[in-house]
A and B are shown apart, each in its own frame.
Chain A
Amino acid sequence: MASGEGDWADRTLVPGTWPEGEPKAAPAPVSESDRTRVVDLTQAPDVQIVELHRGGGDLTPELLETSVWTDAMLAAAGIPVIDVPFVTVGGGIGSFVTADYLRIAGVPTSQIRVLSNIDFPWQTYEYLTRVSQIPDTARIRSDSSSRPDNIWGFPSYALTEAWRDKDLNNLLHVLIEPVFADYWTPKRSTVFGSMAKESRRIGFDQMLVKGVVRMVRRRFGGDYFVIFTPPEGTSATKRVAYRARFVHLAVGYPGLRYLPDLQEFREKYTDYEHVVNAYEPHEHVYETLKARAGTVVLRGGGIVASRVLQRLFDDREQYKLPTNIVHIFRTYVDGAHGPNAWMRRKGGDGWAYQGFNYPKSVWGGQLKSQMRKLDGDERAALYKVMGGTNTPKRRRWQEQMRDGRRGGYYHDMQGIVQKVEPAPGGGVVSFVHGKNGDQEIRSDFIIDCTGLEADISQHRVLADLMEHTGAYRNPLGRLEVERHFEVKGTANANGAIYASGATTLGGYFPGVDTFLGLQIAAQEIADDLARRGWCKKIGPARSTIQWLRWCFNRPV
């Protein structure tokens, strides 16, 4: 391309992560008088041309208030537009798995962009699992065949670990599970290592663009605009718009969530030390307990509570600590529970027991095909039956709790905490109302293990989508999507917005917020894109050939 005056005068390149090779240095910000500066386009042949027009480069009131945008509106605002057919928002495991599927379906990296505010797909997952007491060497709550790095689920993690460690015990374990052993699950480090390898294989970094997505709006005539804020100093304008025919949202949880009484306590007394959420770093609790005797109150009955409990028990054993633990269950499950003999889940000592986040058949069996047929209240009802916080029944944990009860240092109880106040001698007091009346429980710390913020309106992009683009809530209050994960209400000419992951819980597919769930969504999305003629459908031949390429770590 010849550089020169004329119709190239208004064009410049938007810096950031380039499609191939190292990130280029950002050109100097273009001032008003400088708008006719010309750039040598031969340096980055794959970069789409960006048009820089008059205007400040930020959102205008007109853009914010109008639901459907025209190209002219963005030009007037001075926001450069980049054309990419498929954009995935989030950059976490949901985006990774979807990009992986599309790459395997034959889509080149130039046609996909991953708009991410993190550096690698498992960053958020790594952080959350680490602070909620799952270190690298520990095993996560995920099936052997749920491999985010391998769309076929074969070889399974158990087989891979057996091969790598030359240890057949892994294989024996998956053979006898779940009757003669707990469900086998992979080590955290195995999962991350495998994702890093697959990420390199599919050229993920070539598709990655760092920054924050502000909103997604319909474009007049078809396609969507995704407003993107690149990191400061890397772009000539504050905002950049991606014009895409297909947008995929995998934005995850908006943030932490506290129980109302604990939220109130933290705000009223500005005390963020004694009351913590298990999903935030809280090492100070364990360090303090190593230094002196203390009591911890645990709230919640799920996997996080189990892991925090294990940490407390392990520390107790390792450092010979006198730590006292009081576990308050709002809903105390004291045995098998369920509406009938064919829908009965194990439980006991306050906990509901289940191998994985959902009953296994949601990932392809009976429950999946059942839920697929339901709408509205019927769907909500089935979710309710299989819902409720639960944890795996692991032999080691059962042992630790038994020892705790016998030793008098682990007390479990049913109760609803009405309020929490600072205790006179230090620490906090929980005012608990339970079946056996009211109690005051004094403790040094309260660890809230009840989970993450799940209200989708707490996420800007989703709130905006509901307000301007026609998205709406499903029977469980999250984003309603089709069986093929298209967000209902948001179609635009031949384009579509898809969503997968935690934000879509409550739809036709129950197991969303899981590795396998994200892959199932990615498969449905890839198949839908193939139906629309945008990419190839992965049939038996392509699937087999791609699997062999995976096995030999050959690029897609």
Chain B
Amino acid sequence: MVPTLTGRIQTRIFLLATVGSVLTALVTPVLPISGPLGSAYKTTFIILAAVIVVGIVWELVYHLLMQWRWEKDWPSMFGLLTALPEGALIWALLVAHAIPGLHTTPPFGAFLADFATVWVGVWLVANGPMRVPFLRWRFRGGRLV
């Protein structure tokens, strides 16, 4: 990946909103969350929204860190490893009830499965299939528009 700041942010929003939504919709029914399916969906989609919003700040951080790299690239591995700090922060926010709209903390197992599925799914799409419909995306630093 050789992203620009604008590209990173656009790609994150786009992929989480599309691929992220599809994966969240598919995985929520099988998560160990108690209560009606409707409220489970509410939980997972709010988490998705949180990952997008908080993620924009993370992208600023990654962009800054990338400046120390001569190649100004963001290796694929980093895209996977950043799941750890991002996931940890979202969990911390969940536990602290700091995410608007969510008043209870989901079980950790459910959160982990949900977060991991969406993260890996988005990462896989970003590292290959994205280039098929969006021919110019990788040459524009990840910008879609």
A residues neighboring B (CB under 8 Å): 145, 151-156, 159, 174-180, 338, 341-346, 354-355, 359-361, 363-369, 520, 523, 538, 540-541, 543-544, 547
Is A520's CB under 8 angstroms from B141's CB?
no
With a 10 A CB-CB cut-off, give which of A159, A346, A366, A538 has the most chain B CB atoms: A366
**What 10 A-B pairs come out closest when comparing CB atoms?**
A365-B2, A361-B72, A540-B133, A360-B71, A360-B73, A364-B139, A361-B2, A366-B72, A342-B67, A154-B128
Number of interface residues of B (CB under 8 A): 28
Given contacts A152-B131, A176-B77, A346-B70, 9 further A-B contacts (CB under 8 A): A145-B138, A154-B132, A175-B80, A177-B77, A342-B68, A364-B141, A366-B2, A369-B140, A540-B134
Residues of B within 8 A of A538 (CB): 135
- With A174-B76, A179-B75 as given contacts, are A543 and B135 in contact (CB-CB < 8 Å)? yes
Residues of A within 8 A of B134 (CB): 540, 543
Binary contact track B34-45/A, C-beta < 8 Å → 1, others 0: 000000000000
Cβ of B4 within 8 Å of any chain A Cβ, yes or no, is yes
- With A342-B67, A523-B139 as given contacts, are A365 and B73 in contact (CB-CB < 8 Å)? yes
- How many CB-defined contacts (below 8 Å) exist between A and B? 94
Smallest CB-CB separation from B132: which chain A residue? A547
Task: List 9 interface pairs A-B (beta carbons < 8 Å), by A numbering.
Answer: A175-B77, A359-B71, A364-B138, A365-B1, A366-B4, A540-B134, A541-B133, A543-B133, A547-B132
Complex CA distance for A153 and B138, rounded to whole angstroms: 9
- Indicate which residue in A159, A338, A355, A369 contacts B71 across the interface (CB closer than 8 Å): A355
Cβ of B20 within 8 Å of any chain A Cβ, yes or no, is no
Residues of A within 8 A of B76 (CB): 174-175, 177
Is B131's CB under 8 angstroms from A361's CB?
no
Smallest CB-CB separation from A363: which chain B residue? B2
Minimum CB–CB distance from A554 to chain B (whole Å) comes to: 16
Is A361's CB under 8 angstroms from B73's CB?
yes
Residues of A within 8 A of B73 (CB): 359-361, 365
- With A364-B138, A365-B4 as given contacts, are A178 and B68 in contact (CB-CB < 8 Å)? no
- Indicate which residue in A151, A178, A359, A540 contacts B72 across the interface (CB closer than 8 Å): A359
Residues of A within 8 A of B97 (CB): none
- Indicate which residue in B66, B70, B135, B139 contacts A368 across the interface (CB closer than 8 Å): B139
Smallest CB-CB separation from B7: which chain A residue? A365
Residues of A within 8 A of B68 (CB): 341-342
Complex CA distance for A345 and B68, rounded to whole angstroms: 10
Tell me which residues from 42 to 83 in chain B have a Cβ below 8 Å from any Cβ of chain A.
66-68, 70-73, 75-77, 80
Cβ of B103 within 8 Å of any chain A Cβ, yes or no, is no
Complex CA distance for A369 and B6, rounded to whole angstroms: 11
Is A365's CB under 8 angstroms from B3's CB?
yes
